[in-house]
A and B are shown apart, each in its own frame.
Chain A
């Protein structure tokens, strides 16, 4: 125990010196998030300094092995790291699909050379990744995907179309599900990595109901992918994909993030401009009921992470977290809109921070669709946890 206490005070001292004050302010919008990558523009010097300091210590991916750019923290140490960040309200130094999604998949399925190369780039924030999963005809029924890689000896030639590729226009590389055997549905898909600057890759942002374009359509026209860029076994990409989806669902669920004791009612009532409606008794009651659910869910997130770290993870844990977390987040934004009244309707005005409330509200509607719909999550829980017939 005293070792961990010592560890905590070392981290605390390090953070005091290395986490700039600007990086202890809450994230207000997309600009405040450090995504890294070749095209990334730092918003300010503090954002870069904070990233550099963390990269030097392996703190962008604290629980990854040192050889792959991490700090090699044990689960209790990583928990202390998160607690210490939360204590001072520090922003994550680096946010990326490379950390949350590709990283865990490579750690499990990658070759040693792939781990050293790709994980190191992710840890240092050098390469920003996007995910090529969904296709126009393959949403919930992902395994029906058609993008095809033709075997040409030392490489594949990939043709097809992906959709809902988040931030594809900002990403450097893609991890992509590609059919490599048309005769076998599940065991005919491979997990390929390739550069978005490869000839034949094009991407086009899609305008969403939020007025923003975080998602893209991505087209592959005779894209050449060297065979060394296959992760896991040929035609067994579905195993990698499912494993990665577990981490994606965890990410979308919000497990492990945020101050678990800060209630929405308290936040809204502190800021009377955004929460004028908190005085309405029935709305206040709904906020209170929401806060009960949200704080309970926070405990579930903590329990979920604690159990995963010691291998006691629940068979459908990430599905439950994803389902409950996204439904809760949608409810949260409905309440933010209701509490804000007509002020929350402002889409384009001086005082509305670019219409952030209404845009964020609309954005959350995707939470229960992306990474597997709520309905798919419930199907998985029925099957894996409840063992219900025919599911």
Chain B
């Protein structure tokens, strides 16, 4: 498959670009909700608009009423979200929880997917247990109890956890902390007894929670997929989140880059446009070249993932690491090249820097994924 968008995908990109460029702008969304100290950190009205365009069901099968599209298409939407820093539960709900629920029973799908499709429900995923992404180690326990399970443990960096109607929780039903087997995914309703969340506002103004699970009793039908055999599904959810975050990072990098080159063509010092200085031109050209490479790695990984290739895992980590590296470079160069004004809250470039930092951490940073590239390559 060639590494560019098909006509249908290009049309979706046009739709996503104009939707996010009109409704999802920094002024209308990110600053609006941030300045009001919104407890969700995003607007539900916009989430409804996602639904009206069918986007909340982008990965949901057509049989379940969704669009039945793939990671290339989800990435197209995420790139525009990134470019506009649009706060939304799209990545956690539609992409990650959507992937998990797709493997769930008809009962579970019937319980949760209609709300997602209508843009009425928000979901979060609770995987990490500490400040760094270590999904190989899962300590949260789910013991068999009654006709189901009792969950105990704690989860960190649960983005949109406080707004979520349901949390997808990865827990251990057997084995020890670092075992590959023995993992089970659960759909945990927000009002479950024993579930408590501490809200935190993150550097990018997104809301997340620290989750405590204290003997949370769930029926057996809360299990998503197989009991004990959830590692493969967890990996699918992780890959969906990783490649989604990578696509969003490319959007963040692209947005920061565009702002910066625009500024280079407007700002004068020493009587010249600063963009005429070779010291800045070369850095901008380097960044541009890196951005194109990151974009290529992301579409390659998306295609491999959609095609079920055994190389997908490796390329997803390449893409997440590369997009993270490049996005980080883009925002750092962006602030530096803007000079003093780049340090002001009033100017948007700093918001890109904050979003990049949060996205880099989400689902594993460049160091985690470079390590993974080494391991998957056998060294």
Name the distance in Å between A307's Cβ and chain B's nearest Cβ. Answer: 6
A193 to B134, CA, bound (A): 62
Q: Is A265 a contact of B374 with CB atoms below 8 Å?
A: yes
Chain B: CB-nearest residue to A324? B289
Q: Is B374 a contact of A300 with CB atoms below 8 Å?
A: no
Given contacts A307-B4, A312-B4, contact A389 B265 (CB under 8 A): yes
A interface SS class: helix
A300 to B299, CA, bound (A): 10
Name the distance in Å between B367's Cβ and chain A's nearest Cβ. Answer: 8
Please, which residues of chain B bring their CB within 8 A of the CB of A117? none
Please, which residues of chain A bring their CB within 8 A of the CB of B120? none
Q: Is A389 a contact of B378 with CB atoms below 8 Å?
A: no
Binds B, one of A141-149, A159-167, A287-295: A287-295
Contact of A302 among B261, B300, B321, B374 (CB under 8 A): B300
Q: Is B276 close to A, CB under 8 A?
A: yes
Q: Is B377 a contact of A265 with CB atoms below 8 Å?
A: yes
Chain A: CB-nearest residue to B367? A285
Chain A: CB-nearest residue to B273? A389
Q: Is A210 close to B, CB under 8 A?
A: no
Contact pattern, A 286-323, Cβ under 8 Å of B = 1, otherwise 0: 01110111011101101110110110101000001001
Q: Is A378 a contact of B377 with CB atoms below 8 Å?
A: no
Name the distance in Å between B263's Cβ and chain A's nearest Cβ. Answer: 11
Given contacts A300-B296, A389-B275, contact A269 B282 (CB under 8 A): no
A357 to B379, CA, bound (A): 21
Contact pattern, B 238-266, Cβ under 8 Å of A = 1, otherwise 0: 00000000000000000000000100110
Q: Is A204 close to B, CB under 8 A?
A: no
Q: Is A268 close to B, CB under 8 A?
A: yes
Contact pattern, A 364-391, Cβ under 8 Å of B = 1, otherwise 0: 0000000000010111011001111111
Contact of B281 among A270, A295, A391 (CB under 8 A): A391
B contacts with A, residue count (CB < 8 A)? 46
User: Which chain A residues numbered 306 to 357 have a C-beta less than 8 Å away from chain B?
Assistant: 306-307, 309-310, 312, 314, 320, 323-324
Q: Is A187 close to B, CB under 8 A?
A: no
Q: Is A284 close to B, CB under 8 A?
A: yes
Q: Is A310 a contact of B2 with CB atoms below 8 Å?
A: yes
A320 to B4, CA, bound (A): 17
Contact of B379 among A269, A302, A385 (CB under 8 A): A269
Please, which residues of chain B bring their CB within 8 A of the CB of A379? 278, 281-282, 285
Given contacts A278-B379, A299-B299, A390-B276, contact A293 B322 (CB under 8 A): yes
Q: Is A299 a contact of B296 with CB atoms below 8 Å?
A: yes
Q: Is B3 close to A, CB under 8 A?
A: yes
Q: Is A285 a contact of B315 with CB atoms below 8 Å?
A: no
Q: Is B284 close to A, CB under 8 A?
A: yes
Name the distance in Å between B6's Cβ and chain A's nearest Cβ. Answer: 12
Q: Is A121 close to B, CB under 8 A?
A: no
Residue from A270, A284, A289, A377 whose CB has the most chain B CB atoms within 10 Å: A289
Q: Is B299 a contact of A288 with CB atoms below 8 Å?
A: no
A303 to B278, CA, bound (A): 29
Q: Is B273 a contact of A390 with CB atoms below 8 Å?
A: yes
Q: Is B373 close to A, CB under 8 A?
A: yes
Contact pattern, B 297-328, Cβ under 8 Å of A = 1, otherwise 0: 10111000000000100110111011001000
Q: Which 10 A-B pairs have the closest CB atoms?
A: A390-B276, A296-B297, A299-B300, A303-B3, A381-B285, A269-B379, A306-B2, A300-B296, A382-B281, A288-B370
Chain A residues within CB distance 8 Å of chain B: 261, 263, 265-266, 268-270, 278, 284-285, 287-289, 291-293, 295-297, 299-300, 302-304, 306-307, 309-310, 312, 314, 320, 323-324, 375, 377-379, 381-382, 385-391
Can you list 13 pairs linking A and B with CB atoms under 8 Å apart?
A: A261-B311, A278-B379, A289-B321, A289-B370, A296-B318, A300-B297, A303-B3, A306-B4, A320-B289, A377-B285, A381-B288, A382-B284, A389-B276
